[in-house]
Amino acid sequence: MDACTQETVSQVEAALDMIYRQHSQGYRHDYAQQWQILDVDMSGLPCGKKAALATPGSFAKQRHRRGRQLGRVWATRYQEIIVDRLCDGKTQLVTAVLPLVLATAVLPLVLAAEQTLELDAAKRPRTLIRSDAGAGSVADSNWLLFRGYHVLAKDYSTKRAAARAAQVSDWIVDPRDPQRQVGLVLAPAEDDHAGHDRRTVTRVAVRCRLSNGQWAVGRRRGDLHPATGRGADADRAGSGSGG
């Protein structure tokens, strides 16, 4: 492994792409029949300080640890891993999305998945990218929308989520959890969406009652219609592709 160069690593990645395309269900997905669903996430992997890429980072319930981050893109319908990238401990999803889809964190992760699945201009509008808060920045979502994908992401900024939640006038109690409520955010579209792309972005606030009686607030944003689950612009565009 020590003798590997960037060229040999690229050759191995190309070989793995070829193997995936030959044997996977995800690559043979019927985009005309239903949307492809890709989930993007990163997991912290604590390790010894001598391990490759080991750096101080953020790891669940383990402060002041060294470790690495594992970024993955899943073809959720088929429970297949499309992209698997090991990053240093400081890498977060918000900086990894582009490479995973293209090849390394959310945007890199998405670009890598895009290459493996050969997601062209016809397939991207039939693909939903779902991610956690680490890839929920306005810039990340807008990049994905510009690229033609559908998006469902948790808001990266807790401050912005709280401000938007304050604008909700009607809260609906979750029938499965009376301590959880959801509400439609009626903020102006230009506040956080891809302006020139003309894609309609729906924002839904979620709040849960804490043990101290206060509310913990989060927000989901995406271009799916909250009632139908289709692209928010689908009816206007005449298809489920949105924009």
Position 239 scores a pLDDT of 36
Position 225 scores a pLDDT of 59
Indicate if the pLDDT at residue 191 is higher than 70.
Answer: no
| CB 88 within 8 Å of CB 55 | yes
Position 141 scores a pLDDT of 77
3-state helix, strand, coil in the chain (%, to 5): 30, 35, 35
Cα dist from 67 to 84, 131, 140, whole Å: 16, 22, 25
| CB 129 within 8 Å of CB 145 | no
Mean pLDDT of 191-213: 74
In the chain, the domains with their CATH numbers are 1-154 (3.30.420), 157-243 (no CATH)
Using DSSP, state whether 190 is helix, strand or coil: helix
> What is the H or E stretch that residue 9 is in?
helix 6-23
* Sign of torsion over alpha carbons 225, 231, 235, 240: negative
pTM exceeds 0.85 for this model = no
